[in-house]
Amino acid sequence: MTTPYDILVIGGGPGGYVTAIRAAQLGFKTALVEREHLGGICLNWGCIPTKALLRSAEIFHYAKHPEAFGLKIEGKVTADPAAVVKRSRGVSAQLNGGVGFLLKKNKVDVIWGEAAITKVGEVTVSASKKPVVQPQNPIPKGVLGEGTYQAKHIIVATGARPRVLPGIEPDGKLIWTYFEAMVPTAFPKSLIVMGSGAIGIEFASFYHTMGADVTVVEVLPQIMPVEDAEISAHARKRFEKAGMKIMTSTKVTKVVKGADDVTCTLEDEKGNKTELKAERMISAVGVVGNIENLGLEKLGVKTDRGCVVTDGFGRTNVPGIFAIGDVAGPPMLAHKAEHEGVICVETIKGLHTHAMDKLMIPGCTYCHPQVASVGLTEAKAKDAGYTVKVGRFPFAGNGKAIALGEPEGLIKVIFDAKTGKLLGAHMVGAEVTELIQGYVVAMNLETTEEELMHTVFPHPTLSEMMHEAVLDAYGKVIHT
């Protein structure tokens, strides 16, 4: 039996390891249990490696169109799938080691294995059923592993996994999840992507840029359903102009596997059925929380639709048990998980904290063009009873965008007409995933339209469009 911990975190993803580090900083004796690899899905199979893949695709795109920038590249530009994947995995490996260093630096004990909460205040760790990436498998002597551990506070940060639709189960060969899509041995010539959320659209964008004939199938009326309809429509137009095929209000009802391809039966909202064949298919229909085999049911921890129910501070209905990150429900984003974990341990410490405000959490999709947003869409703002003022500014009116060769895009802002409160901001175009944080800061500071209009933005920058969009909402726009 080990010395009891103040806090034990189950799961070493971005939410889990940040929570553990912050807990240690606050003076808690802290441990973290991980069954496979530090950094979780985000660092190893999600956020980070996909950005590495998309960066390769971006450079490939520009290399194929050098004439647009007055350049000439002699010879044919080709992509090496193995090298592209190797670079992506290398980026993940580098950061994976960095997480281990940070935990050690902050004196967080890392326990390797699979955890189950046997009772309030007690966690049993068994040998992992997954191959442990770090430090190695089997666990070396002297490294914490199997055993029973005591902790005053247990924080579940086990993340999520791809949702599977009955009858369309991924097999790793013909039907992929993001795991297989991340490490192709070859780029398919044709691809069907089922689902147009951030994961689906990012992979659709990557494989299309790398030369695949891509068709995106979405059951809802618009792609990227959580985004503002106007922004989604702009992105769709760009995708289709580039050659991507998009089918909305359409569902996949059947998949037949061939020797080296799949044939999907598609049905639209009118009941019309068609068949579509492709070499590979990606299932990107969302994720579901990893709540199984943790002992939550036995302890009476409340769950809802595959996620643990919490109160905004990470507390569950069972004292001493907390949950943060994807397992605690949407939005299932790494930065939400990290911040949620900090709120949780600071609340345990007794510090003055604020419950997570999900409207303040930005969302980013790293396709080409990029999409980013925060707050309410125009439709949701109106549904909430607001009288709104809406401002827009096109990339075509911005000197920096034109100089970059990125003149297509849009910045859109939504204000409460009565108070000047910024309700939401939505963007599509080059580097908007970096720009969106300006509006996030403004919303957190409760900035009004007047303060934004009086703010000086540097020239020439893409950020000037953020200023112009605010001016447009109040009839003061200059450059359109």
Active site residue 459: yes
Beta carbons of 414 and 390 less than 8 angstroms apart? yes
The C-alpha atoms of residue 257 and residue 303 are separated, in whole angstroms, by 36
**Active-site residue, selected from the candidate residues 153, 354, 426, 459:** 459
Cα distance between residue 175 and residue 310, in whole Å: 34
Residues 6+ apart with CB under 8 A from 438: 463, 466
Rounded to whole angstroms, the Cα distance separating 361 from 440 reads 8
SS3 sequence of the chain: CCCCEEEEEECCCHHHHHHHHHHHHCCCCEEEEECCCCCHHHHHHCHHHHHHHHHHHHHHHHHHCHHHHCCCCCCCCCCCHHHHHHHHHHHHHHHHHHHHHHHHHCCCEEEECEEEEEECCEEEEECCCCCCCCCCCCCCCCCCCCEEEEEEEEEECCCEEECCCCCCCCCCCCEECHHHHHCCCCCCCEEEEECCCHHHHHHHHHHHHCCCEEEEECCCCCCCCCCCHHHHHHHHHHHHHHCCEEECCEEEEEEEECCCCEEEEEEECCCCEEEEEECEEEECCCEEECCCCCCHHHHCCCEECCEECCCCCCECCCCCEEECHHHHCCCCCHHHHHHHHHHHHHHHHCCCCCCCCHHHCCEEECCCCEEEEEECCHHHHHHCCCCEEEEEEEHHHCHHHHHHCCCCCEEEEEEECCCCEEEEEEEEECCHHHHHHHHHHHHHCCCEHHHHHCCCCCCCCCCHHHHHHHHHHCCCCCCC
**Calpha distance 242→191 (Å, rounded):** 15
Q: What is the set of active-site residues?
A: 459
